[in-house]
Amino acid sequence: MAYFCLNASKIAVSFLANQSHSARFAAYRLASTAPSYQHIVVDKQGAKTNVGVITLNRPKALNALCDALMREVSDALDDLEKDKDVGAVIITGSEKAFAAGADIKEMQNNTFAGVYGGNFLSHWNRVAQCKKPVIAAVNGYALGGGCELAMMCDIILAGENARFGQPEIAIGTIPGAGGTQRLIRSIGKSKAMEMCLTGLPITAQEAEKLGLVSRVCAPKELVSEAVKMGEKIASHSKLIVAMCKESVNQAYETTLQEGLLFEKRTFHTTFATSDRKEGMTAFAEKRSPNFTDS
């Protein structure tokens, strides 16, 4: 398994916490004997190195999401999910492109029989199935599959230069990784329909106004803002965070009454955990909680 950054030594990790992003990548490569990924870079950031960061790294193709890249993202998520220290994950790209969509050149000669038979793109859903919170930090283009990848994440932070769009219609196809479904749940029918049918992108500022993104940041500060958010989430009980994420996500899948029941039962279930007891005891004793993720 190519998971070089998380296998790097603790010493390297704490040393690297103070380095620039690119210096960190380079040094991680040196610090590890494990093989690196081809299309992504994975590291752990934050003062406690408890935020996993997956950086899409196919600059010549504007991070077009070829099959190999998305398989690497799945593998990285598998590993970050297993890593007990990691409390949140960030997926980001470059300042020019989060991702310009599925790889059109790779898809160009696909046939109906092939994509239907192989259930093409179904494995992308791994991102939406991650139990840990995933934050998309989007600078530049998030088009087609790039916009869909961002929407598979739990929270989207956008750089001021971000552009979100579903331009598939212009190349004779339709969104195939959730665009027609997640967009409508996020920004409503009229705007989702406009984006899918015209293929025209919206700006980061429009996306914030519509509720697609939670916050717009300066492009250079985007990843550090996402890491700060990841650290805040990681400071809570990982067990309770996972339960909370699952409950919020139920709102996408069920009726209100079913969702409310799911929430209530999940809330009740927190009373079976040590962390619920610790959190409330710490509040009453006016001290910080010491969560054990149990």
Neighbours of 283 (CB within 10 A): 11
The closest of 146, 13, 154, 145 to 85, measured between CA atoms, is 13
Residue type, 28: Y
Could you say which of 46, 93, 133, 167 contacts ligand CAA (CB under 6 A)?
Answer: 167
Task: Give the interface segment with ligand CAA, choosing from 47-55, 75-83, 103-111, 234-242 (CB under 6 A).
Answer: 103-111
Secondary structure (3-state) at 127: coil
145 is catalytic: yes
Segment 127 to 166, residues that bind ligand CAA, using CB under 6 A: 141, 143-145, 148
Q: Is position 103 an interface residue for ligand CAA (rule: CB under 6 A)? A: yes
Task: Give the interface segment with ligand CAA, choosing from 68-76, 79-87, 97-105, 263-271 (CB under 6 A).
Answer: 97-105
| Cα separation of the two ends of the chain | 28
Q: Is position 169 an interface residue for ligand CAA (rule: CB under 6 A)? A: no
Residue type, 152: M
CA 154: distance to chain centroid?
A: 7
Tell whether the torsion through CA atoms of 110, 113, 118 and 123 is positive or negative: positive
Look-up of token digits 């739990």: 154
148 is catalytic: yes
Q: Is position 200 an interface residue for ligand CAA (rule: CB under 6 A)? A: no
Q: Is position 101 an interface residue for ligand CAA (rule: CB under 6 A)? A: yes
**Cβ closest to ligand CAA, residue 58 vs residue 236:** 58
> What x-and-dash track marks residues 173-192 binding ligand CAA by CB under 6 A?
--xxx-x-------------
From 102, 128, 137, 150, active-site residue: 102
| C-beta of residue 180 within 8 angstroms of C-beta of residue 174 | yes
Secondary structure (3-state) at 247: helix
Q: Is position 201 an interface residue for ligand CAA (rule: CB under 6 A)? A: no
117 is catalytic: no
The closest of 218, 239, 255 to 291, measured between CA atoms, is 239
Pairing verdict, β 88-92 and 51-56: parallel
176 is catalytic: no
From 128, 144, 168, 192, active-site residue: 168
> What x-and-dash track marks residues 35-74 binding ligand CAA by CB under 6 A?
--------------------------xx-x----------
Please name the helix (run of DSSP H) or strand (run of DSSP E) that holds residue 201, with its range, or none.
Answer: none
Q: Which residues are catalytic?
A: 102, 145, 148, 168
Summarize as ranges the residues that interact with ligand CAA (CB under 6 A). 61-62, 64, 100-105, 121, 141, 143-145, 148, 167-168, 171, 175-177, 179
